[in-house]
Chains A and B, each alone.
Chain A
Amino acid sequence: MRTENVHSHPQPSDVTLSFRAATANVALARTMAAAMAARTHLTIDQIEDVRLAIDEAVSQLINDCDEQTHVHCDFTETAGTLVIQTRATTRSGLPPATDTFSWLVLAALVDEVTAGADNGLVHLELRINRPASVTV
């Protein structure tokens, strides 16, 4: 669990999803995340965990966003790792605290979670690794 500025991706994201910061839109992020997790050949346990994790991450951002703001999710697959970066300009402009139940949930659901903030733009990055025993 590191908290720092999220480094930029070495390559452009495969898919970007952008939506208005409304709870009703969380389902879109969830569906996209599950589809990308399947495409990365993650196990069904991991796919379900990714669904829960993006729910948690996006809900956290939305709770700190004005309604007209947009939330962006970048999905990238690199060498068997699914990287999901969510970002939005939030009211507080602060990265999520790490002593919360929500953070504990995120940390348990994915292999690595990092968060950071840059001029009011808050980002949360989730990384999920495909098990070595899966042959693609």
Chain B
Amino acid sequence: MAQASTALASAGRWSSAKREHARALFTELANLPANSPRHKVVRDELVEMHMPLVKHLARRYRERGESQEDLAQVGMLGLIKAVDRFEVARGLEFSTFATPTILGEIKRHFRDHAWAVHVPRRLQERNIAINHAIESLTRELSRPPTIAELAKGTKLSDAEVMEAMDAGRAYTAASIDAAAEANGDGDSPYDRIGGDDQELETLELRESFRPLLAALPERERRIVMLRFFKNQSQSQIAEQLGISQMHVSRLLATSLAQIRAGMSDY
């Protein structure tokens, strides 16, 4: 419990009025039909109110080599689940209730994304530094950096940057199954992107790759759609989904390989 109250304290130092407001919203949510428009409004407000808690918990893992954005994103899944399951009548603080669920999602992310092969500590640390440099240089240059620019920004040689990025690829994307499990309950923020399936209808492609596309987990399917049917860059997709560009790249490679494997019509 001490853990959770610390989290709340640094996540916001809420006024008693704000705490009351949250309790009132939870009470209202419990009495609303799940499919009513008001239910969605209240649920969204509660999720938004508690986002600082997710960011706070994600920061605990900042030395572990995953981007903070990726961690906050998986933590959000935990937050949404907690909002849906919280029973205000039980008298628990929401942060106390939600913390284990959010941490559970973050830990599962680490479990699913473990380094697939043994990668020396030195390379893992370089990978963290490079990920930070990618984020800041992309903002600064308004485009993704080159290897040479990354080398300059991290005081590493071109070869060292390439080596560390290769090692980063050993940091595997979640297994297709795990991703499906995480996204399959319809709670995922990715579900809200929606709307671009129409693009598919206008394309007259020879093969029936639609079933193969449909077989991908929700998030991977979105990424494939955005990259190849909306022509967005990997960086743009990364920003839109709140994950790192390297993560988008890994997911794209896995998805294309899966589609290719299922395609008989080459």
Residues of A within 8 A of B (CB): 34-35, 38, 41-49, 51-52, 55-56, 59-60, 63-64, 96-97, 99-102, 104-105, 108, 131, 133-134, 136
With A51-B253, A101-B263, A105-B256 in contact, do A44 and B150 touch (Cβ < 8 Å)?
yes
B98 CB–A CB distance under 8 Å:
no
Q: Give the distance to chain B from A24, nearest Cβ to Cβ, in Å.
A: 14
Q: State in angstroms the CA–CA spacing of A12 and B36 once bound together.
A: 67
- B147, B207, B260: which contacts A44 (Cβ < 8 A)? B147
Q: Besides the contacts A43-B143, A102-B260, what 13 more A-B pairs have beta carbons closer than 8 Å? A: A38-B162, A41-B146, A41-B148, A43-B146, A44-B150, A44-B165, A45-B245, A48-B252, A51-B253, A64-B266, A99-B206, A100-B265, A102-B266
Q: Is the CB of A44 within 8 A of B256?
A: no
- A41, A44, A55: which contacts B245 (Cβ < 8 A)? A44
Residues of B within 8 A of A (CB): 134, 141, 143-150, 158, 162, 165, 203-207, 209, 227-228, 231, 233-235, 245, 249, 252-253, 256-257, 259-260, 263, 265-266
What is the count of residue pairs linking A and B with beta-carbon distances less than 8 angstroms? 81
Q: Is the CB of B227 within 8 A of A100?
A: no
Provide 9 A-B residue pairs closer than 8 Å at the C-beta atoms, listed in order of the A residue: A44-B134, A44-B147, A52-B249, A52-B252, A52-B256, A99-B205, A100-B205, A101-B205, A104-B205
Q: Is the CB of A45 within 8 A of B260?
A: no
> What A residues does B134 contact at CB under 8 A?
44
Q: Give the distance to chain B from A106, nearest Cβ to Cβ, in Å.
A: 10
> What A residues does B256 contact at CB under 8 A?
52, 55-56, 105
* Chain A residue at minimum C-beta to C-beta distance from B234: A45
* Chain A residue at minimum C-beta to C-beta distance from B161: A38
Q: Give the distance to chain B from A23, nearest Cβ to Cβ, in Å.
A: 10
Q: Is the CB of A45 within 8 A of B235?
A: yes
Most chain B beta-carbon contacts within 10 A, residue among A41, A55, A101, A134 = A101
Q: Is the CB of B259 within 8 A of A101?
A: yes
Q: State in angstroms the CA–CA spacing of A50 and B238 once bound together.
A: 18
Q: Is the CB of B206 within 8 A of A59?
A: no
Q: Is the CB of B227 within 8 A of A108?
A: yes
> What B residues does A45 contact at CB under 8 A?
144, 233-235, 245
* Chain A residue at minimum C-beta to C-beta distance from B252: A52
> What A residues does B260 contact at CB under 8 A?
56, 59, 102
Q: Give the distance to chain A from B142, nearest Cβ to Cβ, in Å.
A: 8
